[in-house]
């Protein structure tokens, strides 16, 4: 199958790029953040409460360039210290990051994780693309591992390329010494596209989620890597009171997945978040809370899983 070749390529690069001595550089706890638009992030930088976020040199991020299916520029990027600007509208050509006026959950996820682990360094690899689904033919692109239309490149490929490119840079903090990245968790915020598309896409979500998380764990070479799933919610901002007609099926699938996996957890605080006027995206306060809640949930899960 096509996904096996993709996975082998990703595994090879991840393995070779972590095979250096930790004493030669710094060691980072690494987290992969992925999903669609609410992971991409619609928080406004100019609405950040003064003094609430402080740049911390112990927290680095590699955000892969989002791309449509079959586009070849997806997944390029470069490491830098975490700051606002990696939300929707962020761009990179792999040589320079062009920050936007938006931020995503990575901002306060990184800050809270750094506070939770004051003796550790935190690294975030992020790939998210708005409107993307797990099922083939859903949304503006899909994450299905068996996708083979056109050039056969989809969101799964772009995510693998992001991870591959992030690991290829052995000195992520630019101090001249190779660093060690220790895969520590996966954070997933996605499902709206499948819940909006059709009952068939929603029905397939449980199996698609399981398979994708298994493959991402394999890519990062940790079978029981902690996985935190963010609960998708409905703003109700539509004439019939439901933006996503099949949301209950997807929510049930998310909940069933975390119940079946001892190293998975469900972050449900999203039910209390406010929305932008578009009815799809969490507002600035919601994005701040999302990042912090993801971090709290992840740190508890790590303790539970002995990580």
Q: Which residues contact 112 (CB under 8 A, 6 or more apart)?
A: 291, 292, 295, 296
Q: Strand (E) positions, 8-92?
A: 27-35, 43-44, 59-63, 79-81, 91-92
Q: Which residues contact 103 (CB under 8 A, 6 or more apart)?
A: 41, 43, 45, 48, 84, 85, 86, 87, 287
Rounded Cα distance, 63 and 77, in Å:
6
* Ranges of residues in the chain whose predicted pLDDT is under 70: 1-23
Q: Which residues contact 259 (CB under 8 A, 6 or more apart)?
A: none
Taking each helix axis from N to C end, the angle separating 247-260 and 205-219, rounded to the nearest 10 degrees, works out to 40
Q: With contact defined as beta carbons under 8 Å apart, do 283 and 247 qualify?
A: no
How high is the pLDDT of residue 20? 44
How high is the pLDDT of residue 27? 97
pTM above 0.85, yes or no: yes
How high is the pLDDT of residue 9? 56
Question: Which CATH architecture group holds 2-305?
Answer: 3-Layer(aba) Sandwich (3.40)
């Amino acid at each position: 199958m096509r996904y096996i070749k993709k996975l082998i390529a990703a595994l090879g690069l991840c393995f070779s790029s972590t095979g250096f001595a930790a004493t030669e550089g710094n060691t980072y706890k690494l987290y992969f953040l992925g999903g669609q638009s609410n992971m991409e992030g619609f928080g406004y930088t100019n609405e950040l409460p003064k003094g609430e976020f402080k740049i911390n040199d112990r927290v680095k991020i590699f955000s892969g360039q989002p791309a449509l299916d079959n586009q070849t520029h997806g997944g390029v990027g470069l490491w830098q210290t975490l700051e606002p600007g990696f939300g929707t509208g962020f761009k990179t050509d792999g040589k320079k990051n062009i920050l936007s006026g938006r931020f995503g959950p990575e901002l306060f996820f990184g800050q809270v994780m750094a506070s939770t682990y004051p003796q550790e360094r935190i690294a975030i690899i992020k790939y998210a693309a708005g409107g993307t689904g797990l099922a083939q033919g859903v949304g503006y692109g899909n994450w299905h591992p068996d996708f083979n239309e056109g050039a056969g490149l989809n969101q799964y490929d772009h995510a693998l390329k992001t991870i591959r490119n992030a690991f290829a840079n052995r000195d992520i903090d630019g101090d001249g010494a190779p660093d060690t990245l220790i895969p520590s968790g996966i954070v997933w915020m996605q499902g709206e596209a499948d819940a909006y598309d059709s009952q068939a896409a929603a029905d397939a979500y449980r199996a698609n989620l399981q398979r994708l998380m298994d493959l991402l764990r394999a890519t990062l070479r940790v079978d029981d890597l902690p996985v935190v799933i963010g609960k998708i919610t409905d703003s109700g901002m539509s004439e019939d009171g439901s933006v996503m007609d099949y949301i209950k099926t997807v929510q049930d699938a998310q909940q069933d997945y975390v119940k079946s996996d001892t190293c998975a957890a469900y972050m449900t605080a999203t039910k209390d978040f406010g929305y932008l006027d578009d009815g799809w995206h969490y507002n600035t306060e919601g994005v701040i809370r999302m990042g912090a809640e993801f971090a709290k949930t992840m740190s508890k899960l790590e303790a539970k899983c002995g990580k």
